[in-house]
A = this chain, B = another copy of it.
Amino acid sequence: MALDDQTRVVCLAGGVGGAKLALGLSHILDPDHLTLVVNTADDFEHLGLYISPDVDTVMYTLAGLSNPKTGWGLAGETWNSLEAINRLGGDTWFRLGDHDLATHILRTDLLRQGKSFSAICHLLSTKLGVKHTIIPMSDDPVRTIVHTDEGPLPFQEYFVHRRCEPRVRDFEFLGITSAQPHPQLLGSLSQCDVLIYAPSNPYVSLAPILNLKGVQEMIATRRSSGMRVVAVSPIVGGAAIKGPAAKMMIELGFESSVTALAEHYVGSLDGLVIDQVDATSAARIESLGMRVWVTDTIMKSEDDKIRLAQEVIGFAKKFTG
């Protein structure tokens, strides 16, 4: 099938990197041609509030409200509640901004009223003016446990509280075998022309989505019907643009390189988008059985995001049809 402007795209995303590419894609694809599926395995409850960092990052980014300096949180955020929480002796290692708190309070309240997580996600993102569909990977709880040399740590405990310092040995996704993938995840995949892995952490952002039951099977079925799977590397010049991906690769016994990333995905990718600083790795990666697109993958401006999104779609078009 020839891809054209009607390309139907599903993008799997984690937090900051995923949100950036998602924003670019949202500028070139209509809401009915783009489905953003977001990791929820790093969700957690903190001070009794249900917090979904990746979903919020994607939602705030698409709403044009995200903090351009950090990539997470809201622009113009204030920290008065957190200051008062500190005064009252509450935990403050997870930075809750005043505006951001509203999201967590309302989501927690609506969950308690019995609304599904994804319905709440739709409600809140619509209120913020987001037109594209953000789908949490599942309405059921999946929780990443990071097994480290200091023992098992819940993801946010490892990621935020411990600043990724403990050495990683393995990951576990509690609930992954019983969680139902969101119906729209399988539904959108079943009609998908291009599946994109955003430049997100392969271990803790994309693996939970890909390990939900039925997802790999649906992807395999669709690939045999012409769907192409392309990833944008979160590893640039041997380092992660953001987050602990490179550190994790090393601690798990791999190189932190685009080549090692390609080896991680071997067999499951049709193409990999790598940064120009890694151009010399292209031939080696292509020898693993996937095509390579070399470009500037660092998304600073909105224009960067749109250009990269266009290139990723264009890349997928080159080897389909």
Contacts and interface: CB of A to CB of B under 8 A. Distances in A.
Interface of A: 47-49, 78, 80-85, 87-90, 98-103, 105-106, 108-109, 112, 123-124, 127-128
B48 A127 contact: no
Contact of A123 (B82, B89, B98): B89
Determine how many copies of this chain the complex contains.
2
Contacts of A102: 81-82, 84-85, 87-88, 90
A313 B313 CA distance: 81
Contacts of A83: 99
A99 B79 CA distance: 9
Given A48-B112, A112-B48, A106 B85 contact: yes
B127 A99 contact: no
A51 B103 CA distance: 19
Nearest to A109: B48
Nearest to A48: B109
Contacts of A128: 87-88
The A contact surface, by secondary structure, is helix
A101 B87 CA distance: 12
Given A99-B83, A101-B101, A88 B49 contact: no
12 contacts: A47-B105, A47-B106, A48-B112, A81-B99, A84-B101, A84-B102, A85-B102, A87-B127, A88-B106, A89-B123, A90-B106, A105-B105
Q: Which of A83, A89, A101, A103 has the most CB of B within 10 A?
A: A101
Contacts of A108: 48
Q: Which of A83, A84, A85, A90 has the most CB of B within 10 A?
A: A84
B81 A98 contact: yes
A84 B100 CA distance: 8
Contacts of A81: 81, 98-99, 101-102, 105
A299 B127 CA distance: 45
A177 to B, nearest CB: 28
Contacts of A78: 78, 80, 98
Q: Which of A47, A98, A100, A123 has the most CB of B within 10 A?
A: A98
A88 to B, nearest CB: 5
The 6 A-B pairs of least Cβ separation, nearest first, read A84-B102, A48-B109, A80-B98, A84-B99, A85-B102, A81-B98
A123 B82 CA distance: 18
Contacts of A105: 47-49, 81, 85, 90, 101, 105
A106 B78 CA distance: 19
